[in-house]
């Protein structure tokens, strides 16, 4: 009789722990319903031709949502996750929301509202606070990226902006292609 009791206690314990684990994971990773795509978001890039290593490029955005782009993964799961601001190489048909996210990130910053930035700064081992850009109340922002050494034989460089932390918003997937200078640097 004691063995049956022990087996039933173990089975009940597994059921209870499994239920608690499932509930706990659900609570940690809330389901996020995406908002409708933003309309009117735009970026400007201060230099788009003959970009070379050492150039300091200003990227500015307007019309971005300050409360949308809800993150799908920690630490911003369910919170406004802003947008990544990236210099890199991008596939010809780059479109992350359509599964065509082929990219090589060379330099990345993260533009987001102050409360989400504060969450990330609370995890200093996750992010370098100097890489954060804070949205203005109207959804505008501006940052600079210093172009590092690049392979000038490549032709698929650009500055892109796309929702952070796994969020999806086709209205905030923007790419400005650039040409690179002729001075080769490795």
Q: Identify the CA nearest to 157 among candidates 55, 74, 67, 63.
A: 55
pLDDT value for 8? 54
The domain spanning residue 56 has which CATH number?
A: 2.60.40
Residues 4 and 88 occupy one common structural domain: no
- Which residues, listed in sequence order, are joined to residue 161 by a DSSP beta bridge? 85, 174
Task: Quickly state the pLDDT bin for 7 (edges 50, 70, 90).
Answer: low
Q: What is the extent of the structural domain holding 11?
A: 1-30
Residue 24: pLDDT over 50: no
State the total domains in the chain.
Answer: 2
Cβ atoms of 83 and 140 closer than 8 Å: no
Cβ atoms of 13 and 140 closer than 8 Å: no
Residues 20 and 81 occupy one common structural domain: no
Residue 72 lies in a domain: yes
Q: What is the pTM of this model?
A: 0.78
CA dist., res. 59 & res. 47, Å (int):
9
Residues 48 and 136 occupy one common structural domain: yes
Residue 36 lies in a domain: no
Residues 66 and 10 occupy one common structural domain: no
Burial 31-69 (b: 16+ CB within 10 A, else e): ebeeeeebeebebebeeeeebebebebebebeebbbebb
Residues 95 and 125 occupy one common structural domain: yes
Task: Quickly state the pLDDT bin for 32 (edges 50, 70, 90).
Answer: low
Residues 67 and 145 occupy one common structural domain: yes
Average pLDDT value for residue range 38-50: 94
Task: Quickly state the pLDDT bin for 25 (edges 50, 70, 90).
Answer: very low
Residues 56 and 124 occupy one common structural domain: yes
Residue 100: pLDDT over 90: no
pLDDT value for 31? 55
Residues 114 and 75 occupy one common structural domain: yes
Residues 23 and 109 occupy one common structural domain: no
């Amino acid at each position: 009789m004691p063995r049956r009791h022990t087996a039933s206690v173990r089975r009940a314990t597994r059921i209870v722990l499994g239920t608690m684990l499932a509930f706990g994971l659900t609570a940690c990773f809330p389901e996020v319903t995406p908002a409708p795509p933003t309309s009117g978001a735009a970026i400007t890039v201060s230099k788009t031709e003959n970009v070379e290593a050492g150039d300091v490029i200003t990227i500015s955005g307007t019309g971005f949502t300050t409360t949308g782009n809800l993150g799908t993964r920690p630490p911003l799961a369910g919170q406004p996750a802003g947008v990544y601001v990236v210099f890199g190489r991008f596939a010809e048909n780059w479109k992350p929301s359509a599964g065509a996210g082929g990219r090589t990130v060379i330099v990345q910053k993260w533009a987001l509202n102050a409360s989400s930035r504060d969450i990330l700064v609370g995890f200093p081992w996750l992010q370098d606070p100097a890489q954060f850009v804070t949205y203005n109340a109207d959804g505008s922002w501006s940052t600079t990226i210093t172009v590092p050494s690049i392979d000038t034989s490549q032709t698929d460089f650009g500055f892109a902006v796309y929702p952070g932390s796994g969020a999806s918003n086709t209205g905030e997937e923007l790419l400005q292609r650039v040409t690179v200078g002729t001075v080769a640097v490795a």
